Amino acid sequence: MEIRTGIRDVGTYLSLRESVGWIRLTRAQAQKALAGSLEVFTVFDGEKPIGMARLVGDGAVVSYVQDLIIVPEYQGQRIGSMLLDTVTRYVRKNMLPGTRMMFDLMCRKGMEEFYLKHGFTARPTKDLGPGMIEYIYKYPDGSTEIRNF
């Protein structure tokens, strides 16, 4: 297994997302997401892409792990841990000296233990409230609607 950085291939990204049953994106969404990432980490088995993580944020105050994906047939082989450890090392190496950064993520239900093992804190805590989310839909006519679960 090898992790390569900087690969921003829309087809690979969409294929990996589809392999785990995530919400479909348009090619334009995928391209914009990849272009706006601080870094993209892709795991290969030979020349076959089998996983990916995107790092988003400003790289100074907040960095956010987005889209940590391992294709189902490779899950359970510690590849996700290897990928997350690589992302974490990247963030630590690229932080500004003498600063503190929020390193965040939102995980799929049932994956909390995985991230706890890697040093993340589940919210809410005594001092931190719960995470919040809002889904905004934009229609072809330009109007928007908020639809939450």
Instruction: Single out the residue of 41, 81, 1, 38 nearest to residue 13, CA to CA.
Output: 41
pLDDT tens-digit readout, 100-132: 999 999 888 888 999 999 999 988 999 889 888
Domains of the chain: 2-146 (3.40.630.30)
Residue 75 has pLDDT above 80, yes or no: yes
Cβ partners under 8 Å of residue 87, min gap 6: 39, 41, 53, 55, 65
Mean pLDDT of the chain: 93
Q: CA-CA distance, 59 to 5, in Å (whole number)?
A: 16
